Structure 1
Amino acid sequence: MDEVQVVVAHSERVTLRVGEVFLKIDSNQANIDVEVEAVTLAPVPTPQILWQKPSVLAIAEVPGKALGVLGEPSTASSAAWAAAGAAIRTLHDAPLPPWPGKKTPDQIAADLEEECEWLISSGVLPADLVKRNREIAQAAFRPWTPAFVHGDLQITHIFVDGDQVTGIIDWSEASQGDAMFDLATLTLGHEERLPEVLAGYGTDVDQDAIRAWWSLRSLLNSRWLIEHGFDPNTPGCEFDVLRARM
C-alpha cells in the first residue's frame, strides 16, 4: 500500500502525495479554480488534472525530477536550464489569461514598506541590509507589459527529464504579470544559472529588473516563511540572497 507523504503543509495549504497522485487541499477555493484554468490555458507541459472537489484538487505525477532545490546546487544540465527558459518564453508569449494579478504595483510597494519595517524593527535582519535591498528592489517598479505568468515559478516547480521540460506544476498564482518576476523566481538562489535560462528564453530581458525581484521577493516573503515554520536563513535561501546584494 502506498504511504501518504506530506509534501507541503501550513495553515493555508497542504499538499499530499499518495503513489502517483498529488492531493492539494487549499483553504481558498479561488486558488484551485485558478490552477485548473491556468493548466488548461498554458501552452507548456503541465500535470494532468484527475479530479477536483471543494477545496481539493487531485493531479497526476509528472515524469522526471525537479530542476533543483533552493539552497542546494542544481545537478540539472545547462541544456535543461535553457529548456526551462524556452518553456517560460512560450508561456510569456501566450495570450493573456482573463484574470489580472492579485496585487497592483502600488499594493506591492505598500507591502514592501511594511515588510521592511518589520524586518528592521524585529531585529531579524540588520537595517543596512534591508535598506540596501530595498533600494535595489525599486528597479522592479518600472513600466512593463503584462504577460501570462506562472506567478510562483520556484525551481522545484519545473520538472525535467534529461534536457527536456516534462512538466510545470503549482499554477495557483498564475495571472497577468511581470515576466521578469517569473525569471527571477526561478533563478532565486541560483543566480549563476541565469545566463543558461536566458539562452533559452531569448531577448527582451531586463536583467536589472530580475535582480530587483530577487531582493523584492526575498524581502516580501521572509516574514511569511518564518511565521509558517520555514527558515529563510537556511544556506542559499532568502537571507543569503539578500546578503549577496551587499
Structure 2
Amino acid sequence: MDEVEVVAAHKQRVTLRVGDVFLKVDADPAHAEVEVRAMAMAPVPTPVVLWQEPPVLAIAAVPGTALGVLGEPSAASPAVWAAVGACIRRLHDAPLPPWPGRSLDDLRAGLDRECAWLLAGSVLPADVVRRNRDIAEAALRPWEPAFIHGDLQITHVFVDGDEVTGVIDWSEAAPGDPMLDLAVLTLGHEERLEDLLVGYGTGADRDVVRAWWSWRSLVAVRWLIEHGFDPDAPGCELDVLRARMREP
C-alpha cells in the first residue's frame, strides 16, 4: 500500500497523492467540473481523469518534474522555457471554452478591494501598494479573449527534457487575457520572460505582462495569508511588489 501524501491543504481544497493517483477534494464541485471540461478541450498535455465523484476528482500523475517553484531560481534551460511558451501559444490559439471568464469590472473591483485591505492592515508600505496599483492599471484594459489556464503557476507546468509533459490544475480556465497566463507563469521569474516568448511568438505585450505581475501579487496576498501560506517568503509575492519600487 502506498503512503498517502498531502500535496496541498487549505480551506477550499485538499489534494492527496497515493502512488500515481491524485485525489482532489474541493468544497465547490463547480471547480472540478470546469477542470474536467477544460482538460478535455485544451490542445496541450493534461492529466488523465480517472474518475469523478463529487466532491472528489481523481487524476493520474503526469510524468516529468515541475518547471520550477516560486521563490527559487528555475533550473530549466532557455530551450525548455521556449517549449513551454510554444505550448501556451497552442492553448491561447485554441477555440474558446463556452463558459464565461471574469469581467474587467470584476477584476478591477477585486484589485481595489485587496489594495484597501493591504493598506488598512499595513501589510506593506502605502507607497508600495499605490505604486503597484498604478502599474496594474495597464492590465485592466479591453483584450481579445483567449483560452487561458487562469492559474498558470510555475508548479503547474511539468517538463521532461525539452518536452512539456503536462499542465495541471485547470479549475480557473476560461476565456481571458492571454497576458495573464504569461505573467502568472513568470511571476518571481521575470528574467525568464524573454526565454518564454521565444517559443510563444509574436503578440505578447511586455508592459501588460508586467502589469499583471503587480495585479496578481496584490490580489493574492490576503488569500495566501488566510489559507496558511507565506507571501513574504523570499522571492514570493511581497518581494515581487517591492521590486517594482526599484524600477524607473
TM tier relative to shorter chain: over 0.9
Structure 2 residue ranges without an equivalent (≥5): none
Letter in 1 for 2:15: T
Q: Map of 1:1-246 to 2, 5 A cutoff?
A: 1-101=1-101, 103-246=102-245
Q: CA RMSD in A?
A: 0.6
Q: Are the aligned partners of 2:104 and 2:141 in contact in 1 as well (CA < 8 Å)?
A: no
How far off is 1:237 after superposition? 0.3
Structure 1 residue ranges without an equivalent (≥5): none
Q: Deviation per CA, 1:172-228: give whole Å up to 9, x if none.
A: 100000000000000000000000000000001111110000000000010110111
1:57 partner SS: strand
Runs of 4+ in structure 1 off by over 3 angstroms are none
2:202 partner SS: coil
Letter in 1 for 2:69: V
Letter in 2 for 1:70: L
How far off is 1:60 after superposition? 0.4
Q: Are the aligned partners of 1:23 and 1:57 in contact in 2 as well (CA < 8 Å)?
A: yes
Q: Are the aligned partners of 2:158 and 2:166 in contact in 1 as well (CA < 8 Å)?
A: yes
2:166 partner SS: strand
How far off is 1:108 after superposition? 1.2
- Please report the TM-score for the alignment, with normalisation by the length of structure 1: 0.99
How far off is 1:142 after superposition? 1.5
Q: Deviation per CA, 1:112-134: give whole Å up to 9, x if none.
A: 11111110110110000000000
**CA distance in 2: counterparts of 1:125 and 1:70, whole angstroms:** 20
**CA distance in 1: counterparts of 2:166 and 2:209, whole angstroms:** 23
How far off is 1:110 after superposition? 1.0
Number of residue pairs aligned between Structure 1 and Structure 2: 245
- Aligned sequence identity (%): 70
**CA distance in 2: counterparts of 1:100 and 1:179, whole angstroms:** 15
